[in-house]
Amino acid sequence: MLTLETTIRNGDFALRADLSVATGRRVAVIGPSGSGKSTLLAGIAGFLDASGRIAWDGRDLAPLPPAARPVSMIFQDNNLFPHLTAAQNVALGLRPNLRLSRVEETRVDEALAHVGLAGLGARKPGQLSGGQAARVALARVLVRDQPILLLDEPFGALGPALRDEMLDLVAQLARETRATLLMVSHEPDDARRIADEVILVADGTAYPPVVTAEIFANPPEALRDYLGD
């Protein structure tokens, strides 16, 4: 279980979060732009200063640097290093110095095959399509095999069909790795498609998760303003 009793600071902005997310849940984080959705994820991942407690299964994550936290994160962009091949980009998830054993190399190949990129490991990001690049980032999530998966509007640049395809792949990977998923999105449809629950972020607060169908059936005022209907 992920427990947040914290205030996350991003420059002058502060986001208050008192909530918990059960293990294995898939949660969409939605709210107006500038409300602090990305701040919430960056705080959990360890990129921003946070007071109070951010704990995973009772263990406080606050003293841990980003790489030591039980977290994989996919950003809005720049998820791949353009000068490294797809396989090397995945391999970084196992060894930051890229010195892989035979066994680890096999794992990288398997992960690429699993996301539908078998045989494309030698390509550089510039030679991949947007969808393929997103799959490489997901293959890295797979080899890292961390219990928390954070996605910060990762597929914003993809077309609607490809985006749905990616969301389904994310949901599938989260199921397979039993990961707890937090995904920032500004599309209510994304949330309906893969999320069990929704965290609403508005007015400097991240509210506790509510079951997806429920929150859209009976939206609180901040969400109503955002949805605009």
The residue ranges that bind another protein (CB under 8 A) are 42, 45-47, 65-68, 71-73, 75, 78-79, 81-84, 88, 92-93, 96-98, 124, 126
Cβ distance to another protein smaller for residue 71 or 200: 71
Q: Smaller CB distance to another protein: residue 33 or 97? A: 97
Q: What is the 3-state secondary structure (H, E, C) of the chain?
A: CEEEEEEEEECCEEEEEEEEECCCCEEEEECCCCCCHHHHHHHHHCCCEEEEEEEECCEECCCCCHHHCCEEEECCCCCCCCCCCHHHHHHCCCCCCCCCCHHHHHHHHHHHHHCCCCCCCCCCHHHCCHHHHHHHHHHHHHHHCCCEEEEECCCCCCCHHHHHHHHHHHHHHHHHHCCEEEEECCCHHHHHHHCCEEEEEECCEECCCEEHHHHHHCCCHHHHHHHCC
Least separation, in Å, of the C-beta of 67 and another protein?
3
The distance of closest approach from Cβ of residue 161 to another protein in the complex, given in angstroms and rounded to an integer, is 27
Instruction: Find the shortest distance in angstroms from Cβ 160 to another protein.
Output: 26
CB of 217 to another protein, least distance (A): 36
Nearer to another protein, 146 or 205 (CB): 146
63 vs 126 by CB, closer to another protein: 126
Name the residue nearer to another protein (CB basis): 150 or 202. Answer: 150
Work out how close the CB of 125 gets to another protein at its nearest, in angstroms, rounded to a whole number: 8
